[in-house]
Chain A
Amino acid sequence: MAPAVEVEVFVCGSPDRGDDGAAMTACEAVRTELPPGVHLRAVGQLDVEDLLAVPPEATVVIVDVATGIEPGAVVELPLADLLETGTIRPRSSHALEVSGVVALAALIGQRPLHGRVVALGGTRFALGDVLSGPVAAAMPRFASAIREAIEHARSDQAVTGGAAACA
């Protein structure tokens, strides 16, 4: 019997900063229904080190709230496509955007990263803010998209971050 493929779900954001906490709230809703081999990790700000620590056989799902997409809109796409779009900008990034972190991790790790990203467009990020109207209304769709991304995570195409480096 083949071992179950593990899925590492990285939950980004800060719960005390309005829409930035929506990823944690949505993942809390799906926590109890996770199949075996799926692990939730609250990372706040996703670092390259987080992705480098992913076991080679595992796939990843990155859940975040972002600017650059319409508030309340939910985007779910393969990691490879994230590098192409360049439109998703995490509001709470302290250093590198998620696409840069993913590409850098693939490049440094010299192996492709497989998985999905689920992003919700946010608009209100100040400390102490509550969820904005569009984000609050989108929470059920956001949770559904996270469930679907976890299901899809095993079959997505690889991200190399630079063909030459990861060939």
Chain B
Amino acid sequence: MHDTGLPTGTSGDLVVDIAGLTRVEGEGSLRLRVRNGAVEEAHLEIFEAPRYFERLVVGRTPDEVIDIVARICGICPVAYQMTAVHAFEQGLGIPIDPQVRALRRLLYCGEWIESHALHVYLLHLPDFLGYASALELARDHRAAVEAGLNLKKAGNRIVELIGGRAIHPVSVRVGGFSRTFLKTEITSLREPLAAALEIALATVDLVAGLVPPDFQREARMVALRHPTEYPMNEGRIVSTDGLDLAPTDWLSEFQEGQVAWSHALQARSRDGRPYLVGPGSRLTLAADQLHPTAAAALARTGLAGEIRTNPYRSIVARAIELVDAVAEALDIVEAYQPPDRAATPWTPGPCTAAWATEAPRGMIFHAYALDERGFIADARIVPPTSQNQAAIEADLTIFAPQVLGLPSDQATHRIEQLIRSYDPCISCATHFLQLHVEDVG
């Protein structure tokens, strides 16, 4: 007998059913089956349809694909565009001007800033400070939320300038961009970014002082690693257990599979192991490549080890990456020189194309086959959340027993908070959460 106040069945086992996860990007639910205090099954149920896009792009040109895949997500469209454009350029052997490369990294920095600021301040911080929503948090801590919004706005400005508009940017083209950017346009970002850097540094101090729930585990972490910069557009696929792959070779180590409880495919290693992508994985595997300002901020927290073992510390990882993205963006702005041309000319043709980049939520992989006319014949798009599902379920299996003795609302809150730690981007809806427990053992 337990005193959670949760609905129970008659057979003795416990089934926890969280019907709608709140403050995550999308619509999902959670079902836990518990026997004798141990979680036998943790099913993160996701209702998204990435394969829809994989069919939608067939018969399209690479440049059309770049615009189409941006529609997969309103939070991280740049991640989809960057992964696709790099894949096509890799497959077609198109060289890229160094300043175009820098602009793309700047665009990606903008998206990281937008996404991480949103998550830290509006989605995750309320959990730690005991508020049900960002609105309630703002009533008591208006200045903090305002700072977070200003930080996000700096990211918006980058994406709006480089991407052509704030949501679903339109400027990225195979070989470069649809236009060149004047130096004065780029340097207009200097002032807001300088202000954003101060906010980002303060954000690290704020979140490093939060007390997370006590939860430690060792997860297999996977991220890109670049020899000279923090991973974003480029790098090799590495893991905490020694994996080292070219960014084109994701399929040689990982595979996707269907599970009965989710519309999204789940990715695992080919030997069946779950793995985790995202800010915690990046910091664990590439902290030595952080911008010096971000590296110093991480060192001040003293939390690098905890970021690896306690997923609730992901909010600190995001804050460190906010500093990194803003500082890096400032460096790019200062060093920018307009390229001679907006894009490298290229010729359509048959190829296989693949690439991995780092979306705010973790590594994202695209693979395409182009036919003789240069049109898409086949596509595979693997978003971060599909890769994280199995690892999230594994973490919930370990963590949930700690909270199942709590009253229903508290148990729901702690489990949701853990799920929010991974910032899952599920589809395009935010709904409420209902916790249902059935005792069936």
Q: Which residues of A contact B (CB under 8 A)?
A: 14, 16-17, 43-45, 47-49, 52, 89, 91-97, 100, 103-104, 107-108, 110, 125-128, 161-162, 164-165
Contact = CB atoms under 8 A, between A and B. Distances in A.
A110 B26 CA distance: 30
B49 A126 contact: yes
Dominant SS among interface residues on chain B: helix
Contact of A95 (B142, B168, B430): B430
A127 B149 contact: no
Interface of B: 23, 25-26, 49, 52-53, 56, 71, 74-75, 118, 122-123, 133-135, 138-139, 142, 145-146, 149, 152-153, 156, 167-168, 428-431
A108 B139 contact: no
Dominant SS among interface residues on chain A: loop
A45 B429 CA distance: 11
- 5 smallest A-B Cβ distances: which pairs? A44-B167, A92-B428, A93-B430, A162-B139, A108-B146
Contact of B149 (A44, A48, A97): A48
Contacts of B123: 95
B168 A94 contact: no
B133 A100 contact: yes
Given A44-B168, A94-B25, A165 B139 contact: yes
A92 B429 contact: yes
Contacts of A47: 156
A94 B428 contact: yes
Contact of A164 (B118, B139, B156): B139
B428 A91 contact: yes
Contacts of B428: 14, 17, 91-94, 125
A36 B26 CA distance: 38
Contacts of A110: 142
A127 B56 CA distance: 10
Given A49-B156, A100-B133, A126-B49, A94 B149 contact: no
Contacts of A165: 138-139, 142
Given A44-B168, A92-B428, A127-B52, A107 B75 contact: no
A138 B133 CA distance: 33
Given A48-B149, A94-B25, A127 B53 contact: yes
Contacts of A92: 74, 428-429
Given A108-B142, A108-B145, A89 B431 contact: yes
Contacts of B74: 14, 44-45, 92, 94
Contacts of B52: 126-128
Contacts of B168: 44
